[in-house]
């Protein structure tokens, strides 16, 4: 039983990853890394991470968000975040990472923000 479930859907040229569960050291962050790397390998570099169903994220999960962000940028892509829970928002605020990410509460708005 995995700590995290990642489902993928397309909206135009944007790939939405719906994350559910925990993004923590070990399986959760590895699963996220693998999903992002696979998308980049397929040439999909506009990625929206929907974190609305993520119950918990630890520092390793936050680290993975940052390294995914960097990896996507290297491929001239864009990674944005959707539906942050209050916990995740607080965590990103404390770590001063809230300003790094483009964060949306509305999926339609997030999708239309991609160039």
CA distance linking residue 77 with residue 70, whole number of Å? 9
Tell me if the domain spanning 4-110 has CATH number 3.30.750.24: yes
Q: Which of 47, 46, 53 is nearest to 84 (CA)?
A: 53
pLDDT along the chain (115 residues), means of 10: 89 97 90 96 98 93 94 97 94 91 96 93
Crossing angle of helices 27-41 and 59-74, in 10° steps, is 10
Parallel/antiparallel/unpaired status of strands 14-23 and 46-57:
parallel
Per-residue confidence (pLDDT) for residue 1, from 0 to 100:
55
Q: Domain-by-domain residue ranges, the chain?
A: 4-110
For residue 100, what pLDDT is reported?
Answer: 92
Whole-angstrom distance, CA of residue 86 vs CA of residue 26: 23
Q: N- to C-terminal Cα distance for the chain?
A: 37
**pLDDT attached to residue 71:** 97
Closest CA to 15 of 80, 101, 62, 83: 80
């Amino acid at each position: 039983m995995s700590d995290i479930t990642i489902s993928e859907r397309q909206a135009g040229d944007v790939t939405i990853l719906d994350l559910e569960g925990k993004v923590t050291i070990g399986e959760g962050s590895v699963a996220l890394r693998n999903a992002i790397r696979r998308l980049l390998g397929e040439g999909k570099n506009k990625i929206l991470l929907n974190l609305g169903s993520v119950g918990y994220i630890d520092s390793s999960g936050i680290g993975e968000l940052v390294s995914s962000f960097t990896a996507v940028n290297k491929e001239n892509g864009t990674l944005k975040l959707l539906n942050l829970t209050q916990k995740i928002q607080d965590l990103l605020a404390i770590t001063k990472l809230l300003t790094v990410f483009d964060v949306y509460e509305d999926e339609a708005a997030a999708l239309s923000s991609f160039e």
